[in-house]
Amino acid sequence: MYTEKVMDHFTNPRNVGEIENAKGIGEIGNAKCGDIMRIYLDVEDNIIKDIKFKTFGCGAAIATSSVTTEMVKGKTIEEALKLTNKAVAEELGGLPPAKMHCSNLAADALHKAIEDYMNKNAL
């Protein structure tokens, strides 16, 4: 039911963990629906220097979190803000229809982390 790329990101997730004194943290989801994603950002000169995630959720939730961190690492804040959940799913070669809604939230978590960074820095 999952593409090879989803399984690759699920079994070897990139950028798992936390960043100490992160410049921005974003969390989305809740335990009720079974998915919680948290993204940590380190930003320098408007560029995402480091990004880490922690996710409680199904295979799709973990894979979308992982690929999201890969897609925006080294990108500018403006570029990262343009990332959509749809683009994340496409990057993974698609997701099962049932997962598009409930587990494809990593871009939203990223945007929340960026928002947190901007608020903290009064940008």
* Residues in contact with other proteins by the rule CB under 8 A: 2, 7, 10-11, 13, 16, 18, 27, 31-38, 54-59, 61-62, 98-99, 102-103
- The one-letter code for the residue type at 17 is G
Closer residue to other proteins, CB minimum distance, 97 or 122: 97
Quick check: 110 and 87 in contact, CB under 8 A?
Answer: no
Is 58 a residue of the active site? no
Is 33 a residue of the active site? yes
Catalytic residue among 33, 96, 98, 119: 33
Q: Which residues are catalytic?
A: 33, 102
